[in-house]
A and B are shown apart, each in its own frame.
Chain A
Amino acid sequence: MSKQRSDYPGSRWDKFFRWLHGEYDPFAGMLETKRPEEHQAPPPLDPSAFDLCAAEQKGDDVDHSRQIRRFRILYKLLSCVLCVSISIILLVTVANLPHFGDPAAPANNEVSQRYIEKGLQETGAVNIVTGMILDYRAFDTFGESTVLFCAACCVLILLRIDDSGRAKAEEHDQIYEPKNDLILEQAARILFPFIMLFGVYIVLNGHLSPGGGFSGGAIMGAGLILYLNAFGFQKTQRFFTEKTFRYISLGALMFYCCAKSYSFFTGANHLPSGIPLGTPGAILSSGLIFYLNICVGLVVACTMYAFFVMFRKGGF
């Protein structure tokens, strides 16, 4: 066995010995070198603050930290207890609910029986659900539409940008709008008419088939949002501005209000609308329900679109 020679240039031993003698740096060129940041001398300590610290430390510091630790343990324990107890309460409540579809449940009383038996006769709507929410319970639905309108107002108050900040916001928004995405544009060109037609169909057929003002309006609003995303604000502003939103939602809500707010004075007593009920199953049947459905649909569609525009741009 011959001793390994150490003077081969480039061998490990050679590198090791050169490194020992300080001629070779194995990390040269491998690492990103960074100049150390210039260290600024810390500002001289304020003697008054120092005194305050000392004064605090002189007090019961140990007790204080122990209190904090105790509080943290208590906090975790209490939050666990709260979570578990709330879940137990909810589960017990669900377990005590009447069985699903139980005929003896308190919800299945003479009211729903009357709705099911006489609904078609009294409201003229084939879809009993619509007959219920827009005829028997129309006043409740009026409240729901108003809630939606209030939500739109709140979004307007919170997110609206006034004219001074408008230019900057629009400039910032031009980065995203319009997207110039070919797939999105072509898909929207094909889908948009069908989505709008489907929404209009659901609204107009609310008293005949499943659906109604709210769901149809939401679909129309979603279609408008798709159109906006595909083609940009300049195209939507040709048919939908702040004025359109104002007039449509105000007009629809006013019509609803005029038609149904008599319940403030008459209570549950029903006033005849004067519009003939027509033959059940025809499109122009069920009296006032048809028009109320259109109103709710318009309000919901406008509100959904306004929500999106407010979130997106902070103004129409």
Chain B
Amino acid sequence: MSEIFIFLLLGFLILCAIAASVTKRLLASIVIFMSYSLIMSIIWVLLESPDLAITEAAVGAGVTSLLFFTTLKKIHAIEEEIRDEQTEK
């Protein structure tokens, strides 16, 4: 059972890694990157290293993505995406 779970997680990991690099929208790409880190932290727990899992969840999914978001805001990439969505509607 746990083997199936691990393979499922690994599949999701590869999927997230490919999707994060292929996605055209920067915002979506960062959210996918966050979910990648989250899956990675679950895998660390399954590999019996909770120390790394805590760090991965806090740094990978938390602080790094926050810094990415701030950078996107600084270069006005988020606002442009919102404006594009509004014009499409």
Contacts and interface: CB of A to CB of B under 8 A. Distances in A.
Contacts of B51: 127, 129-130, 210-212, 215
B15 interface: no
Contacts of B71: 311
Contacts of B23: none
B14 interface: no
Nearest to B50: A210
Contact of B67 (A130, A214, A215, A308): A308
Given A211-B51, A214-B55, A304 B74 contact: no
B70 interface: yes
A202 B53 CA distance: 13
A215 B66 contact: no
A218 B53 CA distance: 12
B54 A222 contact: no
B54 A211 contact: yes
Interface residues of B, number: 16
Contacts of A219: 54, 58, 62
Interface in B35-89: 49-51, 53-55, 58-59, 62-63, 66-67, 70-71, 73-74
A224 to B, nearest CB: 10
Contacts of B53: 210
A310 to B, nearest CB: 9
A185 B66 CA distance: 18
What does DSSP make chain B's interface, helix, strand, loop or mixed? Answer: helix
A221 B49 CA distance: 22
Interface string A204-231: 0000001110110011011001000000
B83 to A, nearest CB: 15
Contacts of B54: 202, 210-211, 215, 219
Contacts of B50: 210-211
Contacts of A139: none
A308 B59 contact: no
Given A210-B50, A311-B74, A218 B67 contact: no
- By CB atoms of chain B within 10 A, which of A211, A218, A308 has the most? A218
B55 A218 contact: yes
Contact of B66 (A129, A212, A225): A225
A215 B70 contact: no
B22 to A, nearest CB: 15
B70 A308 contact: yes
Nearest to A309: B70
A72 interface: no
Interface in A95-153: 127, 129-130
Contact of B58 (A129, A210, A222): A222
24 contacts: A129-B49, A130-B51, A176-B73, A202-B54, A210-B50, A210-B51, A210-B54, A212-B51, A215-B54, A218-B55, A218-B58, A218-B62, A219-B54, A221-B63, A222-B62, A222-B63, A225-B63, A307-B63, A308-B63, A308-B66, A308-B67, A311-B67, A311-B70, A312-B70
Interface of B: 49-51, 53-55, 58-59, 62-63, 66-67, 70-71, 73-74
